Structure 1
Amino acid sequence: MTGAPAPSSARRRLAQLSIRARLMLIGLAGLAGALLIGGFLLYAVLTTSLGRSVEGTARASAEQVALLVDSGRLPDPVPVSGAQVVQVLDAEGRIVTGSVTADRLTALVTPDERRRALAGEQVTVAGSRSGLSGRLMVAVVEAGPAVPTGRQFSVVAAAPTAVVEQSASTLRALLLWIFPLLLALLAVIAWRVIGAAFAPVESLRQGAERIDESSSESERLPVPPTRDEVSALATTLNAMLDRITAARHKQRAFVADAAHELRSPLASMRTQLEVAQRLGEGGDLPAELLADLDRLTTLVADLLILARADDAATTREAAQVDVARLVTDVCGRYAHARVPVRTTPGLAGRHLLTRGSGADLARALTNLVDNAVRHARSEVLLDADAVGHRLEVTVTDDGHGIPVEDRERVFDRFTRLDEARDRDGGGSGLGLAITRALVRRSGGDVRLEAAQPGLRAVLHLPTATAGTLPRSEAGVAVDARGELLVDGKRASVERSDEDGPAT
């Protein structure tokens, strides 16, 4: 047996609605209740008032006839106005006289109804007792003695209730039609009024949604011109954003300064270790320390990249980048990788243009390929294609993949999954964070999704039409020292160890 939903379930469903909808529903519920109670009271008062009016009319007629009975001047038939019915009954309930509209053989009321009417109770009878349609409201008044014998009489006067019934029916119809229409009209008005009241809140929400890591740090929430709670909230939130911006500036300055200051002692240490290694001093210790020094140097370089990528004041000149050529050239760097790295057939001959920094995109793509090479079982596949108004660059490996719940977390800085915590075989945990930061600087984004089997990294980049930006088709190469070259120039970023992970 199933019962009604629990109140807590109704409250949960109500809580899932917007504040605007909740306020409107609560207001309409209260208004509907008030209108219902008001309509019921109006109906009750009106019908009662009309009923008493009809009863009063019948009682007045009965009293007038009773005066005639008391004075012994009762005419036959009894004169009445309109559709009223009057009968004069003796103590045994027999008809003595009556109006033209009254039956002379059958009494209009039963003895019980006559007692109730004399007691002040409102009594109605069927109009068919007097050959009329509808119902009659009865009033009974005692009269007499009319003759010297001292006999008592009862004057029964009845008036039709058609006016009361018609008025009640009309009122019911009006209430049943007007109340829903009134509620619908008020619902529309309430929805618009509440929407106008919440317009500043929606403006705040949209402004807050626009502010993200890629937004200008000077962007703030719109402050309504009013002096209400919403305006105070916007001002408070903007002050909070100012404090967050100041804290981020301090953090970036610290990271950038620390990384910059570490480069000089690291270079000095490298020089001393290389000299010691060439002179044969220290045995195997210089070689072991050089490996750790390489890892530390890469980490410092990564921190500098992140600090510059986070700095909104540091911008790269936007130019057209041939994504197909970029992917093909990056793939060429991995001719001797642990697993084969290849592109889809026909990619080299295509022209897929985006706008951004060729160095940033080359470094981002290199990080993804490094990561795929490290985790792939047999091969890594690169591809690029136009999807709608955007370009998609994919790096697919057939490795073990990443669980769904970790695919966004790995973009956080210094995030390392359980299987990659061994720093001798893993990276610094900054590769994917650098990739996302660099791609977002070019107006794109990156995400991870499942492949069958393995993992697929997808770069989303904006498209660029020919002639809108300076031509700069990015070509990637490696010089004799193993440095990354973009368009024949050394890129301003250093890449991690080829066999190290980007995550």
Structure 2
Amino acid sequence: MAVFGRMSLRARLTLAATAMAAVGLGIGGLLLLIALDRALLGALDETAQRQGQDIATLVESDRLPDPLPGFGAVVAQVLDCENRVVASTPGGDRLTPVVAGDDLAAVRAGEAIDLDGTRLGQPEPLRVVGVPAETAGESRLVIVAVSLEEQQRSVRFAMIGVVAGGLAVVTALGVLSWLVIVRALRPVDRLRGGAEEITGAGGGHRLPVPAGDDELSRLAMTLNDMLGRLDAASARQRAFVADAAHELRSPIAALRTELEVALAHPDAVDPHDTAREALVEVERMARLVDDLLVLAHLDNPRPVRRDELIDLGELAIEVAEGAGGGDRVAVRVDAGDDVYTRGHRDSLSRVLRNLVDNAVRHASSQVVVAASTGGGSVRVAVADDGAGVRAADRERIFERFTRLDDARDRDAGGSGLGLAIAREIVVAHGGAVVVEDAEPGARFVVTLPAAKATIGAPEAVF
């Protein structure tokens, strides 16, 4: 078994196919030889029976010659009821039957038995049958012994043919199996060679797809699809790391500048102003790091638990009260009744907070948050009266680190992660978020599955 395990796949498949063919041919050959042996014995017994019946006809017609005609038999004898030899062929014993005891009883019972030929001076064994006969009210038994030489010779020839033919067929099948398996596994070698050329650097390399529509070609296409997804994920990861590094450089550079100026001109700089400005940059970095951690958590493939019953109207009011619109922008909430969904409260609170903060940054005078339900879903719309979002940008703004041209300033435009985080959370809760035209301004609409505010409602997990 250890040797079999060290063989190549081609050798193991070829050996297995050849062994199965050899076993099948061996069983088939054995059954053929058994059937041939039985058929020849049956034919030989039938011939001996006919010869015995011919002699029995002579006995019954009281025309029994002495010696008996052989009719091709080695020995033929006629016995009386006391097992005495009445007549025999020239080669038989005229005093003693060719069979005696149990063998004679079996012959009288109609069975055919094998007899050692050396008892009659024959090199080959004999087949002995008996045929009953009646004459003058007295029973007789005709014993006929025929040679098994031709039967055994035929079986030996058949055995030689079966063995030789079986070896030839097994050898040919082994060679054919090897060629077929080598040809069938050739695409696997090409796939392996293509896989060796692919490195972690990406580059859009793909595995060669075998011709045809079989399992290997479908496997190659599936692997290529997987490689495409891995390349896309790798590209997103590299872009994400590059954008994160770029975003962190600005507050770090600003903080370093403030500290270097404070150290270089300690008399000209107010330490409190320096500390305050440094704290602002640190808070910017902290917010960015928090957003990055949230995105990393959302990228985790583990399922999100949706086990809290949440009133989105109440949640919208809480978020609006904490919004930093100040005197410039008023935040108004229009919350309907029974606007319930199931989800993670802190995550959905972050969604509304990000949308409201984004609306406040771009609004001219007011932001309206409306919560409603209908059609088996709940909706939360956050609208501002600002410049709005062009139709061409309504999908792009949900990409990570994306800022529109009028929001490039980091103090006003944020890190560019808020809307991306909002969409990731909403999608994880089985919902969707889109941008509409509010005329004027933009309206962000969050749609989530509705839930009933009943006691003991089942938890939904996905």
Name the counterpart of 2:256.
Answer: 270
Distance in 2 (CA, whole Å) between partners of 1:127 and 1:104 is 17
Please give the root-mean-square deviation of Cα atoms over the aligned residues, in Å: 3.1
Q: Are 1:244 and 2:234 counterparts?
A: no
Query: What letter corresponds to residue 201 of structure 1 in structure 2?
Result: V
Query: What letter corresponds to residue 115 of structure 1 in structure 2?
Result: A
Distance in 1 (CA, whole Å) between partners of 2:167 and 2:55 is 49
Deviation sequence 1:63-118 (CA, Å, 0-9, x none): 10110111111112212244521111222222222112222233111142222123
Shift of residue 162, structure 1, vs aligned partner: 0.7
Shift of residue 267, structure 1, vs aligned partner: 3.6
Superposition pairs of residues 350-389 of structure 1, within 5 angstroms: none
Q: Are 1:192 and 2:179 counterparts?
A: yes
Aligned with 1:152: secondary structure?
A: strand
Deviation sequence 1:276-328 (CA, Å, 0-9, x none): 22334769x99xx9xxx9xx9xxxxxxxxxxxxxxxxxxxxxxxxxxxxxxxx
Shift of residue 170, structure 1, vs aligned partner: 2.6
Shift of residue 269, structure 1, vs aligned partner: 3.1
Name the counterpart of 1:95.
Answer: 85
Superposition pairs of residues 213-252 of structure 1, within 5 angstroms: 213-214=200-201, 217-252=203-238
Distance in 2 (CA, whole Å) between partners of 1:232 and 1:190 is 24
Shift of residue 197, structure 1, vs aligned partner: 2.2
Name the counterpart of 2:125.
Answer: 135
Q: Which of residues 257, 277, 295 in structure 1 aligns to 2:243? A: 257
Distance in 2 (CA, whole Å) between partners of 1:22 and 1:204 is 20
Superposition pairs of residues 269-308 of structure 1, within 5 angstroms: 269-280=255-266
Name the counterpart of 2:198.
Answer: 211
Superposition pairs of residues 411-430 of structure 1, within 5 angstroms: none
Name the counterpart of 2:65.
Answer: 75
Contact 2:110 2:131 in 1 (8 A): no
Deviation sequence 1:454-485 (CA, Å, 0-9, x none): xxxxxxxxxxxxxxxxxxxxxxxxxxxxxxxx
Distance in 2 (CA, whole Å) between partners of 1:34 and 1:181 is 14
Structure 1 residues 143 and 111: CA distance shift in structure 2, 3 A: farther
Name the counterpart of 2:36.
Answer: 46
Contact 2:45 2:127 in 1 (8 A): yes
Contact 2:48 2:145 in 1 (8 A): yes
Name the counterpart of 1:352.
Answer: none
Name the counterpart of 1:86.
Answer: 76
Contact 1:58 1:84 in 2 (8 A): no
Percent pairwise identity = 41
Distance in 1 (CA, whole Å) between partners of 2:245 and 2:123 is 104
Query: What letter corresponds to residue 159 of structure 1 in structure 2?
Result: V
Deviation sequence 1:318-363 (CA, Å, 0-9, x none): xxxxxxxxxxxxxxxxxxxxxxxxxxxxxxxxxxxxxxxxxxxxxx
Distance in 2 (CA, whole Å) between partners of 1:134 and 1:15 is 50
Name the counterpart of 2:50.
Answer: 60
Q: Are 1:109 and 2:113 counterparts?
A: no
Distance in 2 (CA, whole Å) between partners of 1:205 and 1:120 is 72
Q: Which of residues 112, 116, 121 in structure 2 aligns to 1:122? A: 112
Contact 1:83 1:101 in 2 (8 A): no
Aligned with 1:45: secondary structure?
A: helix
Contact 2:52 2:144 in 1 (8 A): yes
Q: Are 1:169 and 2:169 counterparts?
A: no
Aligned with 2:99: secondary structure?
A: coil
Name the counterpart of 1:35.
Answer: 25
Shift of residue 16, structure 1, vs aligned partner: 7.6
Distance in 2 (CA, whole Å) between partners of 1:166 and 1:200 is 52
Shift of residue 160, structure 1, vs aligned partner: 0.2
Aligned with 2:93: secondary structure?
A: coil
Contact 1:55 1:139 in 2 (8 A): yes
Contact 1:127 1:133 in 2 (8 A): yes
- Please state which structure has a larger fraction of its residues in helix: 2
Name the counterpart of 1:159.
Answer: 146
Distance in 2 (CA, whole Å) between partners of 1:132 and 1:237 is 76
Shift of residue 21, structure 1, vs aligned partner: 5.0
Query: What letter corresponds to residue 230 of structure 1 in structure 2?
Result: L
Aligned with 2:242: secondary structure?
A: helix
Distance in 1 (CA, whole Å) between partners of 2:111 and 2:216 is 62
Query: What letter corresponds to residue 212 of structure 1 in structure 2?
Result: T
Contact 1:93 1:111 in 2 (8 A): no
Query: What letter corresponds to residue 34 of structure 2 in structure 1?
Result: A
Query: What letter corresponds to residue 174 of structure 2 in structure 1?
Result: A
Aligned length: 274
Query: What letter corresponds to residue 166 of structure 2 in structure 1?
Result: F
Shift of residue 23, structure 1, vs aligned partner: 4.3
Query: What letter corresponds to residue 202 of structure 1 in structure 2?
Result: D
Gaps of 5+ in 2: 286-462
Shift of residue 159, structure 1, vs aligned partner: 0.5
Aligned with 1:129: secondary structure?
A: helix
Contact 2:51 2:73 in 1 (8 A): no
Contact 2:48 2:73 in 1 (8 A): no
Shift of residue 218, structure 1, vs aligned partner: 2.1
Structure 1-normalised TM-score?
0.49
Structure 1 residues 105 and 128: CA distance shift in structure 2, 3 A: farther
Distance in 1 (CA, whole Å) between partners of 2:20 and 2:12 is 12
